């Protein structure tokens, strides 16, 4: 048990949102001196799919009978179908709307570069230079490392804070949009008409609440964008 905890604490995780793979890779190799095995770049949707697939690895291995395997297969198909529907209807539309309200900054969240390394093998000065470089290029950078959290440079801490706010705003908007879609469908099934039909004062109030919550997500996201831009200007 202690071994796994030590391994977890010795891992530094870095997330970069935005930037071409070749540019980010060159910066990683030059500043952090890490190999290809230490990082990967992927679309957010594919990253979520990877996480979903891990949920069924143990289940498939433990399903001994044909009935259990068929049930597991059906469950996987249903979840993947729902995810594909969410990807097209919710994710794409929300990102497009957020991009309009953020001057295109929300598009950076769609593709990310994720780095994992032993914090003892990373020069914190070079790490700070790497983060500054990404911020100046217009990307978002977040560093997570509990063992050296207090030793991180101010620029790295500020960049991580800006990225956290930016990411939290987008996540909040995604959650609100998803809840709104679920509410719309359930409301139609129960009442026989859409919630957005505005047939009563209650429906109008509910829609206002969803709208205000979504607006809050937009404000969070843009605040993160402003923090990143302010940091980029201070680094010039």
- Chain-centroid distance of CA 107 in Å reads 12
Residue pLDDT, tens place only, 158-191: 999 999 999 999 999 999 999 999 899 898 898 8
The Cα 161–Cα 165 span in angstroms is: 6
Binned at pLDDT 50, 70 and 90, residue 126 comes out as very high
Using the predicted structure, report yes or no on whether residue 16 has a pLDDT greater than 90: yes
Binned at pLDDT 50, 70 and 90, residue 51 comes out as very low
State the pLDDT at residue 61: 46
The Cα 198–Cα 54 span in angstroms is: 42
- Average of per-residue pLDDT across 193-200: 78
**CB neighbours of 69 closer than 8 A, spacing ≥ 6?**
60, 63
Residue pLDDT, tens place only, 53-77: 444 445 444 445 677 777 777 777 7
Using the predicted structure, report yes or no on whether residue 130 has a pLDDT greater than 50: yes
Whole-model pTM: value is 0.81
Using the predicted structure, report yes or no on whether residue 227 has a pLDDT greater than 90: yes
């Amino acid at each position: 048990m202690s071994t796994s905890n030590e391994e977890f604490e010795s891992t530094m995780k870095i997330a970069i949102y935005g930037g071409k793979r070749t540019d980010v890779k060159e910066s990683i190799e030059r500043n952090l001196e890490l190999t290809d095995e230490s990082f990967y770049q992927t679309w957010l949707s594919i990253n979520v799919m990877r996480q979903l697939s891990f949920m069924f690895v143990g289940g498939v291995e433990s399903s001994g009978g044909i009935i259990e395997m068929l049930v597991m297969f059906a469950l996987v198909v249903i979840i993947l179908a729902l995810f594909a529907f969410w990807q097209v209807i919710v994710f794409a539309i929300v990102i497009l709307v957020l991009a309009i309200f953020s001057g295109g900054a929300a598009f950076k969240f769609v593709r990310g570069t994720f780095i994992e390394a032993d914090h003892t093998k990373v020069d914190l000065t070079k790490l700070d230079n790497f983060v500054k470089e990404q911020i100046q290029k217009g990307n978002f950078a977040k560093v997570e490392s509990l063992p050296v959290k207090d030793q991180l440079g101010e620029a790295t801490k500020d960049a991580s804070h800006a990225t956290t706010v930016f990411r939290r705003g987008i996540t909040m908007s995604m959650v609100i949009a998803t809840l709104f879609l679920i509410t719309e469908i359930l409301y139609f099934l129960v009442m026989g008409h859409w919630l957005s039909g505005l047939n009563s004062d209650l429906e109008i109030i509910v829609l206002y609440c969803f709208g205000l919550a979504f607006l809050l997500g937009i404000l969070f996201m843009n605040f993160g964008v402003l923090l990143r831009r302010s940091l980029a200007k201070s680094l010039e």
